[in-house]
Structure 1
Amino acid sequence: MNPTADVSAPLSVSFPAPLKVAVIVGSNREGRFGPVVADWLLGRFRERDDLTAEVVDTADTRLPTALSYSPPPEVTAELAKVTPKLAAADAFVVLTPEYNHSFPASLKALIDWHYEEWRAKPVAFVSYGGVSGGLRAVEQLRQVFAELHAVTVRDTVSFHNAGASFDDEGRHRDPAAPDAAAKVMLDQLAWWASALRDAKAVRPYGS
């Protein structure tokens, strides 16, 4: 022991910065239910100190389905609204309804206009709909994100007959089960996001 050391000096302890999560609202449909589900999910983020959320809403952008390596200025302007948020994110939560056994075209356009932004990052899903709760959309999204080198977490949150599950103020009528499911999902997302962030700091993905 160093006799000259000041044992009364406080120890300096550094904690990892909170993980940045982009919460993607996948539907831009008129009269959509997505914002209700998004508000509920953001409430779950506010209960944690290891994750911070930033919303990426497909209704706020107008990305065409015709892809281009040299997009015109109007498309570049639309990309500027979302690409930096996706690039800065350590992880993603995708909120999706189910349209005709699949997910919305607005969500597919957002996904397809990006590539590097998804690579070696985890993706979790919150789905909503009628009897299926949007789960068929989630199963298709898993295949899409696998092609983009993203890691999808196992556990999801799904709202069956979603419109009847929330009151007029956007509060879930019976929150115990979805709140518990959200905790499990976000715990898994945080683990993968932390592990992948640390791994990429040592060795960039694909090198």
Structure 2
Amino acid sequence: MSSARRRLPGWARTAARRTADAVLGPVLGSVAGGRRTDHVAITFDDGPEPGTTPGLLALLARRGVHCTFFLLVRQAEEHPELVRAIGDGGHEIALHGIDHRPLTSLRHGDAVRMLHEARARLEAVAGRPVTRYRPPYGKQTPASWLAARRAGLEVVVWSADADDWVDRPATQVAAIAAENLRGGGVLLLHERVEPGPGANR
């Protein structure tokens, strides 16, 4: 611990951390997706979902496209056959959380423990390593980002959102995605939609 930090009283350290969280939180984990600007990364959140995942996997196979699926442990444990199908299709399996609650309100140590548990449980279902994590709603702070890194996870957010969680025609969703996405970017899509942060659960 630095001598400057030791001199700060506890309330001042807390205030400084909260200020840093508010200022830096929105930019940590923001990525350009890839090193090649002639490619984009397509990602799906909140699955797997029996009514959506099989058809989605069939479409991706026909098109020869591989994606990253940010799965919820709760869903994965309910539908392990879909998790295996995602992996067998050559897609990356990544973590979106045990459920869809953000970690930003947890103490750092609790967030680290929860992410370790979530990663281990998802790896047990998937039968393969899980190395990436997307925070629910993209909500994070430097403290929660550090917790993910301590759990051995790379934090990935997105550069383009298709707003597919809003009820609108598929053609309109596709147009929004195309308008917002640039080469090297990361597109956010959903297999299923969790309630918003203010919804009753």
TM-score by length of 2: 0.35
TM-score by length of 1: 0.34
Q: Tell which has more relative contact order, 1 or 2 (C-alpha 8 A, sep 6+).
A: 2
Larger of the two Rg values belongs to structure: 1
